Amino acid sequence: MPSAVYIVGRGVISALGDDLSGNRQSLLQSQAGIKAITRLNTRYSEMLPAAEVPHTNEALAAMADMPVTTTRTALLSMIAAKEAFDSFQLPDKLNYRAGFISANTVGGMDKTEDFMKEFAVDTTKGKLHDVIHHDCGAATELVAEKLGITEVVTTISTACSSAANAMIYAARLIRNGYLDWAIAGGTDALSRFTINGFNSLMILDNELCRPFDDTRKGLNLGEGAGYVVLASEKIVAQLAQQPTVKLSGFANANDAFHQTASSPEGRGNFDAMSGALAEAGLQPADIDYINLHGTGTANNDSSEGIAISRLFGKDLPYLSSTKTYTGHTLAACGGIEAIYSTLAIEEGVVFPNLRFQHQMKELEFEPQICLLEGKEIRHVLSNSFGFGGNCTSLIFSKVNE
């Protein structure tokens, strides 16, 4: 078996809360963060609900201790990454080989949109500081510099599987001795470009999303950031408080079926899940809970469900989509949902698939619709399936299981 990689710190910000505690409370109270759009200036504000972080850029800049000219993507990243960094209780942690592996897809689009409003009218107008951090890598570099991490700093951008792939890359660097510990996950902010793009694909729901429901019409977008601190056994041996959860398995696959859709039979989904199980040395029956990718689109839910049925048969674990709380946070979803997976193990809970009412005709199972507490959750499979058929599955396990 490969050497273990442990979860020794976490940080998250989403529409559910500004930190881990706030997100935990909202999840346990089944309080979704999807509402009418109020912060982003978009023509769809009264037509398409989304899960906004309820703070202005000025407020986020104060929380992140960064200039207000910083992109919203980087501000969200800094808030969550700093919480993860601070929760990692290792003295002199920067004296070890540390990495920051962060994912995003939006980059500085929010600032670029502000720039283009003036520039499109008069090419001599517009503030250049609004575009210098446009690319996705800039957000990663800004946060890494603020945290003081220099050993390995890199950005992953593979659509909806981005943050999950960031964790895989970080885990591999640790396992192969290149790093002692790393902060890994993802961030993305809402932008007009994102909303317009997804709307052009006709996969946004004008009501609150209902993944895996037969009447589903699409997804709701969201924003936020989520990071875990991954550490080697050498680092864990030095900690006063031992971790309770480890990243035990992972796999990435690509069915290359379509630019924006998964194969109808879920080939990439199946390969990612079965590969993660093999990596962890587990059987399907060992999984206690599946945190579904569960976007609410017709294609994604069907292909994921068919792949799950093929792999698990009729004896399925509990399963649900927490995107019913946070919306689809794009590159951040794998990081945010990784944290929710660790909470399920620690708290012994299964989070409900909110608003589910009608079983899908092509599937023989339904997601969990009520909060379950007092359960023995040993292994959680967390799915993140992105555009282009880029499919990633992670398995989080209770330590000593």
What are the residue ranges spanned by the domains of the chain? 5-236, 250-398
Confidence of residue 115 (pLDDT cuts 50, 70, 90): confident
Q: Is the pLDDT of residue 281 over 90?
A: yes
Report the pLDDT value the prediction gives residue 116, as an integer from 0 to 100: 85
Catalytic residue among 133, 136, 209, 293: 293
Q: Is the pLDDT of residue 263 over 80?
A: no
Catalytic residue among 160, 209, 333, 391: 160
Report the pLDDT value the prediction gives residue 260, as an integer from 0 to 100: 62
Domains 5-236 and 250-398 agree in fold: yes
d(CA 349, CA 27): 10
Q: Is the pLDDT of residue 185 over 80?
A: yes
Our answer to whether residue 160 is catalytic in this structure is yes
Task: Tell me the percentage of the chain whose pLDDT exceeds 70.
Answer: 99
Q: Does the domain spanning 250-398 belong to CATH 3.40.50.10680?
A: no
Report the pLDDT value the prediction gives residue 75, as an integer from 0 to 100: 98
Q: Is the pLDDT of residue 282 over 90?
A: yes
Q: Is the pLDDT of residue 200 over 90?
A: yes
Residue 382 β-bridge partners: 291, 394
Catalytic residue among 133, 328, 333, 379: 328
**Average pLDDT of the segment spanning 178-196:** 97
Q: Is the pLDDT of residue 186 over 90?
A: yes
Report the pLDDT value the prediction gives residue 283, as an integer from 0 to 100: 98
Our answer to whether residue 293 is catalytic in this structure is yes
pLDDT tens digits for range 329-339: 999 999 999 99
- Cβ atoms 22, 10 nearer than 8 A: no
d(CA 107, CA 194): 11
Best CATH choice for the domain 5-236 from the list 3.40.50.720, 3.40.50.150, 3.40.47.10, 2.40.50.100 = 3.40.47.10
What does the DSSP 8-state code read for residue 389?
G
Which residues, in sequence order, are CB contacts of 159 under 8 Å at separation 6+?
Answer: 105, 330, 331, 386, 387, 388, 390
Report the pLDDT value the prediction gives residue 259, as an integer from 0 to 100: 66
Torsion of CA 281, 239, 374, 358, to 10 degrees: -60
